[in-house]
Structure 1
C-alpha cells in the first residue's frame, strides 16, 4: 500500500507511514495535512532523534511519460509511485505556431529595418525547449520529494539499449552483461525499431521471434543491422530464403523493410540525449546516482513477473533492484500543465489579434490552475465539484472535473485544495 509522507515540525523528512497510522495521527490532532499532492502530513512536534531509513528514488525517463518510484533497498518495499506526463509536444506545437505567426507578420510588414545583432548563438549543452521541459519536470519532482522523504540514493535508466553490449556480446568487466541479459537488450532494441510488429505481415500482440534478414545458412551475421522481428508463421515460411527471394512478389514491402533496416532510432536518440543531460542534473544533487539500461529494466521486471507500467519500470531500474514488495500501491498521476501563456492577446488563424488577455493573474484570491472544491447549495448547479479552475474577473469560474467541465460556479462556493504549481493530479 502507498505510504503517507510525513515531516516533523522542523520540516525534516521522516520515514513514510502506513495510512492507518496517518489517520490516527490526524484523529489525535498530533499532525495536520501539509500538502495534498503528494499527500504529506506535518507533525506538531519536532523529532530530531527519530531513526530514518534512507530510500532510493528510481526514475524511468521517457519521451511522453516518466515513471518514479521510492523503494527501500533493504526490504524492497515500494512506498510511493508516480507517473509524470510531459508536455513536450504541446511546447513544440506552440513554438511552431509562434514562428509561423511571426513569419507571416514580417512578410506583411516589408519596410526596411536595420540588421539585428546575432542573438541565435546557443550555449554549450543547449536543448530544445520541448526536451528541456522533461528535464525540468523531473528535476522539480526530485527536489520536491527530497523535501518530504529521506532519499539517500538515485537510480536512473540511462539508455534504452546497451549498444556496446549488442555490438560485442563478449564484452567483459560487468557480470550483469553476461548470459540472458544480452538477449533482452537486443529484443528491446528490435521491438522499438520495428514498432512491436512482425516485419513481414505486420501482426501485433503475438509472440515475436528474432529473425535474420540475410539467413545465417547463407553467410548472414548476428549484427544488429541484420536482425528483425517476425511472427512464427512468417519465420517458418521464410526459412533460409534470402529477403529478396522471399519478397520477390511484393517489391513495395521489400523496399519498406530495406529502408527500415537503415533507419536510425531518431526518437530513441533524442530521449537518450535528454537522459544524459538529466544524469548531470541528478549528479548535481550530491546523491550517489546509479544507472542502468532499458534491457536491464525489462530483465528485472520479467524475472519478478511484473506487468509493464511506467512506475513499475522505474521500480525495476538498475542493478540494485531487490525482490520488490508491492501491495496495493496506487501511483499518483501527474500531468505537466505549464504556468499559462505570456501572450498579451489571442490571435486568429491568420495571426491578427481578436481577443484581449487580462494581465491580472488572481481573481478573488484564486488563480487559474488552482485545485478547488466547490459546494454549491443553491441554484441550478447544486452539488459538490472538485477540480482545476479557470478564473474570471466576474467571479464566475469554470471547474474541470473528472466528469467534465462545469461552467459558471461562483467564487463564493470555492475552497482551496491545492494551489497552482504547474501540474495537474489524479490520485
Structure 2
C-alpha cells in the first residue's frame, strides 16, 4: 500500500505511515493536511524520537514519461511511486508558434530591418528548452521529495541502451556480456527500433531473431546499424543472401529497411542528450548516485515477473534492486503543464491577433490552475465541487471537475485545496 508522508512540527521528514494510520491521526486531530500532492500530514504535537528508515529514490528518465519510485532497500517495500509526464513537445510547438508570430510582425512593421549578427551565442552545456524542461521537471520533484522523506541514495537509469557495451563486449568484463545479461542491450535496442515486428514481412507477436542485414558470410559486421529483427521463416528464407538480392522485386521495402537501419531513435536521442546533465543535477544533491542501463532494468523486472510500467521500471533501476514489495501501490500521475503564457493577446488559426489577454494573474486570491473545493449553498448549482479553476476579474469562476466543466461559480464559495504549481495530478 502506498504510504502517506509525515513531517513534524519543524517540517522535518518522519517515517511514512500506512493510510489507515494517517486517517486515525486526522480523526484524532493529532495531525493536519500539509500537502495534497503528494499527500502529506504535519503533526500537531511532538512525538518521541523514532529511528527513521532511509529510502532510495529511483528514477527512470524518459522522453515523454519519467518513472519515480521510493524504495526501502532493507525491506524492498515501494513506499511511493509516480509517473511524471513531460511537456517537451508542447514547448517545441510554443516556440515555433512564437517564432512565426514575431516573424510575421517584423515583416509587417519593420520590413527592411537589418539582420542580426552573432547575438545568439549559446553557453557551454546548453540544452534545447524542450530538453531542459525534462531535466527541470525531475529536479523539481527530487527537491520536493527530499523535503518530505529521508532519502539517502539515488538510482538513475543513465542509458536506455549501453551503446559502448554493444560495440565492445569486454568494456565491463566478460561476466557482464557472457552471463545472464548476454544480448539484453542489443535485443532491447532492436525491439524498440524495429517496433517489435519482423523487418522483412511485418509480422508481430511471434518470436523474433536477430538478423544481419548484410550477411556476415559476405563481409557484414556485428555493428548495431547492420542488425535487424526477423521471424524464423524470413530468416531461413533469406539465409546468406544479400539484402538487395532478397528484395530485388520489392524496392520499396528495401529502401524502407535501409533507411530505418540508419535512423536513430528520437526518444532515445532525447534521453541520451539529457542524461549526463541530469546526472550532474542528482550528484549536486550530495547523495551517492547509482547508475544502470535499460537492459539491466528490464532484466531486474523480468526476474521478478513485473509488468512494464514507468514506475515499476524506476523501481527496478540499478544493481541495488531488492525483491520488491509492490502490494497495493498506486502511482501518482503527474503532468507538467507549465505556468501559463506571457502573450498579450490570443490569435486565430492564421496567427493574427484577435482578442486581448489579461496580464493580471490573481483575482480575489485565486489564479487559473488552482485546485479548489466549492460548496455552493444557493442558486441553480447547489452542491459540492472539486476541480481546477479558471478565474475571471468579475469573480465568476469556471471549475473543471471529473464530470465536466461547471461555469459561473462565485469566488465566495471557493476554498483552496492545492495552489497552482505548474503540474496537474491524477
Q: Residues of 1 paired with 2:56 and 2:50: CA distance? A: 19
1:3 equivalent in structure 2: 3
1:349-364 residue pairs with structure 2 within 5 A? 349-364=349-364
Q: How many corresponding residue pairs? A: 426
1:414 equivalent in structure 2: 414
2:248 equivalent in structure 1: 248
1:177-326 residue pairs with structure 2 within 5 A? 177-326=177-326
Contact 2:366–2:391 under 8 Å retained in 1:
yes
| Secondary structure of 2:200 counterpart | coil
Q: Which moved more, 1:385-394 or 1:266-275?
A: 266-275
**5+ unaligned residues in a row in structure 2: which ranges?**
none
Contact 2:176–2:182 under 8 Å retained in 1:
no
1:377-392 residue pairs with structure 2 within 5 A? 377-392=377-392
1:27 equivalent in structure 2: 27
Q: Which string of whole-angstrom CA distances, capped at 9 and with x for unpartnered residues, describes residues 318-361 of structure 1? A: 11111111101000000011111111222234443221111221
Q: Which moved more, 1:376-385 or 1:55-64?
A: 376-385
Q: Please give the TM-score of this superposition, normalised by the length of structure 2.
A: 0.95
Q: Residues of 1 paired with 2:206 and 2:413: CA distance? A: 53
Q: Residues of 2 paired with 1:323 and 1:162: CA distance? A: 24
1:160 equivalent in structure 2: 160
Contact 1:165–1:182 under 8 Å retained in 2:
no
Structure 2 vs 1, CA of residues 288 and 390 (structure 1 numbering), >3 Å: closer, same or farther?
same
Contact 1:166–1:182 under 8 Å retained in 2:
no
Structure 2 vs 1, CA of residues 39 and 224 (structure 1 numbering), >3 Å: closer, same or farther?
same
2:348 equivalent in structure 1: 348
Contact 2:14–2:149 under 8 Å retained in 1:
yes
Report the alpha carbon displacement of residue 215 of structure 1 after superposing the two structures with TM. Answer: 3.2
1:128 equivalent in structure 2: 128
Q: Please give the TM-score of this superposition, normalised by the length of structure 1.
A: 0.94
Contact 1:101–1:350 under 8 Å retained in 2:
no
Q: Which string of whole-angstrom CA distances, capped at 9 and with x for unpartnered residues, describes residues 258-291 of structure 1? A: 1221223344223211111111111111111111
| Secondary structure of 2:182 counterpart | helix
Contact 2:165–2:172 under 8 Å retained in 1:
no
Contact 1:399–1:406 under 8 Å retained in 2:
yes
1:37-48 residue pairs with structure 2 within 5 A? 37-47=37-47
1:65 equivalent in structure 2: 65
**Pairwise CA RMSD:** 2.0
Q: Residues of 1 paired with 2:227 and 2:218: CA distance? A: 14
Contact 1:105–1:351 under 8 Å retained in 2:
no
**5+ unaligned residues in a row in structure 1: which ranges?**
none
- 2:398 is equivalent to residue 393 of structure 1: no
Q: Which moved more, 1:74-83 or 1:197-206?
A: 197-206
